[in-house]
Structures are given as C-alpha cells and as structure tokens.
Amino acid sequence: MNPIAQGLNQIIGVGNPHLMEMMSDLGKQLFFPKGILSQGAEAKEKAFKMNATIGIATERHRTMHFASIMDHIEGIAPEESLNYAPSSGMLSLRKAWQNALFDKNPSLAGYKISLPVVTCGVTHAASTFADLWINPNDAMVLPDKMWGNYAMIFSIRKGTRLSHYPLFTEKGEFNVEAFEKQLRKESEASGKVTALLNFPNNPTGYSPTVAEADKIIRVLIKLAEEGINVIAVCDDSYFGLFYGEEVFKESIFVRLVNRHSRVLAVKLDGATKENFVWGLRVGFITYGCQAQGDPLKVYEALEKKTAGCIRGNISNASHLSQSVILKSMNDERYEREKKEKFEILKKRAERVREVLGNKRYHEAWDAYPFNSGYFMCIRLKSVDAETLRLHLLNKYGVGLISIGAKDLRIAFSCLEEAEIPELFDLVLQGVNDLTGLLPASPAF
C-alpha cells in the first residue's frame, strides 16, 4: 500500500477505528499524491523568479487564453475560470458552502464537520462516496421509490446490493418499521449497513415530518449502539425546498454528526438543484463522524482520500463553474433570489395539491404524499403507466415520466402555476381514452 495512504489510514484509525472497518478496500488505498500538485503548490509559494511547474500555459505571466473564449466570460479573470481548480475544489467555495450548511441547519451549531469536497454534481458525489465506502456485494438500504440512476451508480458500477423497503405505510406515512427491519436484515451477516436517505425524495417529493425524522435518527443510533457500523448517506440534492409546515427542514445528516462512534454521516448535496445551475455541475461531499482527539485531523484525512479519488477520476471540477457559484453566493442579491424561487416552487406545489383535491381524479389515481422538492408522483388505478405516458405524449404533446407499471412522475418544477389544472385534466383525459370511458368535462 502507498505510504501516504497508510499514513491517512493511521490517522483515521486512531481517531475512530470503526471508520476503517466501514471503508471500502479502494477507500483504504486512496490518498492524495504529493507529485506534481504539491511541487506546484511549493513553487507557487517560493518560485519568485520563474514557475515552470503546472500543466497550463501562460503569456506575459497571465493565463494564456483566446479572446473568443474570454469574451463570453465577463467579470471572471482567466486565472479564476480557465486555470485548473484544486481536486478538492476552490477553498473559498468549500468554506462558503460549509458556512451555508451551518446557516441552513441551525442544529449543527457547535458541531464539527469536514470541509465539503467539491464534486462534478451530486451524481459524481454519490459515485465518489461509493468508491470510498462501498465494497462489491455490500448492501445499501433505500426506499422502493428512488432516483433511477442509483441503480447505475451503486449497483451496476460498484456491485452494491440495493435492498428496498416500502417508503410509505398504508396511511401514507414514512415507513419507519420497514426501514428498521430492512437495516437489521442487511446488517446481520456483515455488521455493516448503509442507509441512503434522499429527502426531498425523487420521485415522490416526500420529506419526513419532524416526528418521522426523529424516528429515523433513533433507529440509526440504536443500531450503532447494538454494535452495527452504520453509514447514513444523505442525498440532499433538493435540500431547502420544504413546503409543508410539518416537514423536518434540516438534513438528517446534521442530527447524526458526533452521535456515535459507529455512525458515519455523509452529506451529498450541490448547487445543481439548490441554486438552479444544473449544467454547471457543482456538488459536494461532507463528512460528519465522531473521533477521539481532534476530529479535524480525521476530517482532513477523509478529505484527502476523497480528493485523491477525484484526482484519479475527473481530476477536478470546473473552475469556471465554481467561480460563478461562489460569486453568486457572495452577491447581495443571493438570499433574495433563493427565497423568490422557493416561493414560486412552493406555490406550484400548493396548486398541485389543490387541483388534486378534486374528486373527479380519484377513480383514476392516488397521489403519493408530497411536501417538498421538484416532483410529485401519482399511482394509476386502471392503466399501465408507460402506455399512458406514450399516449399523452403522442396525442396531447404532454411529457411525463413513467416508473414501473403504475407510477407517473410529474415535475411541477417545470410547470407554470396556470398550466397545472390543464395538465391533470389531460392526464385524466388520457386515462379515459385508454379505458374507453366518456371524456370527463373539464373542471377548471
């Protein structure tokens, strides 16, 4: 094993030996190479005469560039847009995102978490997480309603066993009992289990209530107390878009930090969905755990392993994207803009709820509970979801996502408020076309 990796493992193992038990074989091998990057950093500090270390090109001591490129990047110097960013991301952005995590999650006050490591969107954060913490055939417990790409990221690429529990009880509450049962079943043989918590959930748009979040947290801590190593990985892609009064408005991550030595909490989040910059591809991985002595030493070692993983994969995320996001976060308009867009999405969610209250839809489908995020999902009672999807697309020019035999996902994030009644009328019309019933008279 590389001596730098050994050194990092030693720091982590001394801080918390259970973290080393949880880490994947690949994770144990990972390290951040000294090589070119550290020599470059040393030269940046000391090479006052000539610095010929980095794999970029300069001209008159400035970053070489085409005017035809820079004409489109107004206000951000080539050094902040065209140069490479560090593998772990721009330090200033990492600090800004960390500060924002404390602001958005008041329960974090007084706790220590790692600096977020920048990834190329949340997808890459999830796949980097898997590299570090998942061995082939490890079980990952997640709900039956999930983002489809988890299958590619975890199952196909890493050989993870995806183990599902029903997200909802008959009453439409979060199914804590099924969640606990599945975690227990999967931890029996190995003494390790990974729970993926994605709230607001894709595809249903559900987030737990305060009472449900408490129960989820209690289950995870109880398992750790019984000697099971628990990794709780929170995919918080849609964080902050919580509409219902009753919803738990922080990340489950923050309630697991420093709770038990056998609990590793990992937060995957990003500017992509939260700040509406999907194509800029900026996400983050943040760690929260318990450690003997100074937890920052353990966090730093975890950050270095994560950066090493990124170095060997995409090398680093777009510097331009990171600069744009940081500048936006530091802009005086930022908080107002966030609130404004939140209100637009919240109103759409409320309109969907209002429209769905109409009895005329009740024979055709049930809506899964939703209170957050970009989506909501309906469960069709009489027609096949894919057949209806194709019919709506071909006859009415309406595009929705079918999931399995019965579920249709509707991204109300992409609908103007005024379009919402018409959309559901068209879905009902489509159902009626397929079941041969008389057309329903429009209610709106």
Ligand X SMILES: Cc1ncc(COP(=O)(O)O)c(C=O)c1O
Q: In the complex, what is the shortest distance from the CB of residue 279 to ligand X, in angstroms, rounded to a whole number?
A: 9
Chain center to CA of 204 = 15
Q: In the complex, what is the shortest distance from the CB of residue 372 to ligand X, in angstroms, rounded to a whole number?
A: 12
Considering beta carbons, is residue 280 or 364 the nearer one to ligand X?
280
- What whole-number distance in Å separates Cα of residue 316 and Cα of residue 83? 11
Considering beta carbons, is residue 276 or 278 the nearer one to ligand X?
278
Considering beta carbons, is residue 278 or 444 the nearer one to ligand X?
278
Q: In the complex, what is the shortest distance from the CB of residue 121 to ligand X, in angstroms, rounded to a whole number?
A: 3
Considering beta carbons, is residue 113 or 122 the nearer one to ligand X?
122
Considering beta carbons, is residue 122 or 141 the nearer one to ligand X?
122
Considering beta carbons, is residue 121 or 295 the nearer one to ligand X?
121
Considering beta carbons, is residue 86 or 200 the nearer one to ligand X?
200
Considering beta carbons, is residue 198 or 371 the nearer one to ligand X?
198
Distances (CA, A) of 188 to 20, 132, 181, 209, 261: 19, 22, 11, 29, 19
What does the chain come to in residues? 444
Q: In the complex, what is the shortest distance from the CB of residue 149 to ligand X, in angstroms, rounded to a whole number?
A: 7
Q: In the complex, what is the shortest distance from the CB of residue 235 to ligand X, in angstroms, rounded to a whole number?
A: 5
- 58 three-class SS: strand
Q: 3-state SS of 260-281?
A: CCCEEEEEEEEHHHHCCCHHHC
Q: At CB < 8 A and 24+ separation, what contacts does 418-427 make? A: 420/348, 420/351, 420/352, 420/355, 421/351, 421/355, 423/398, 424/355, 424/356, 424/361, 426/392, 426/396, 426/398, 427/364, 427/365, 427/378, 427/388, 427/392, 427/398, 427/400
Residue 280: burial class (beta carbons within 10 Å; 0-12, 13-18, 19+): buried
Considering beta carbons, is residue 348 or 409 the nearer one to ligand X?
409
Considering beta carbons, is residue 146 or 213 the nearer one to ligand X?
146
164 touches 216 (CB < 8 A): no
Q: In the complex, what is the shortest distance from the CB of residue 433 to ligand X, in angstroms, rounded to a whole number?
A: 30
Give the binding site for ligand X (CB under 6 A): 121-123, 147, 198, 202, 235, 237, 270, 272, 278, 283
Q: In the complex, what is the shortest distance from the CB of residue 236 to ligand X, in angstroms, rounded to a whole number?
A: 9
CA angle (126 as vertex; 290, 373 as ends), nearest 5: 95
190 touches 223 (CB < 8 A): no
Q: Closest-CB residue for ligand X?
A: 121
Q: In the complex, what is the shortest distance from the CB of residue 283 to ligand X, in angstroms, rounded to a whole number?
A: 5
Q: In the complex, what is the shortest distance from the CB of residue 274 to ligand X, in angstroms, rounded to a whole number?
A: 9
What are residue 351's phi and psi, to 5 degrees? Answer: -65, -40
Write the DSSP assignment of 111-160 as a string of letters.
---PPPEEESHHHHHHHHHHHHH--TT-EEEEESS--THHIIIIIIHH--
Cis, peptide link before residue 208, omega less than 30° from 0: no
What lies within 8 Å, CB to CB, of 158 at 6+ separation is: 127, 130, 131, 134, 136
Q: In the complex, what is the shortest distance from the CB of residue 147 to ligand X, in angstroms, rounded to a whole number?
A: 4
Considering beta carbons, is residue 122 or 224 the nearer one to ligand X?
122
Q: In the complex, what is the shortest distance from the CB of residue 360 to ligand X, in angstroms, rounded to a whole number?
A: 31
Nearest by Cα to 119 from 300, 313, 277: 313
**In the numeric block, which tokens belong to residue 313?**
């994969």
Considering beta carbons, is residue 244 or 373 the nearer one to ligand X?
373
Q: In the complex, what is the shortest distance from the CB of residue 199 to ligand X, in angstroms, rounded to a whole number?
A: 9
SS3 content of the chain, % helix, strand, coil (to 5): 50, 15, 35
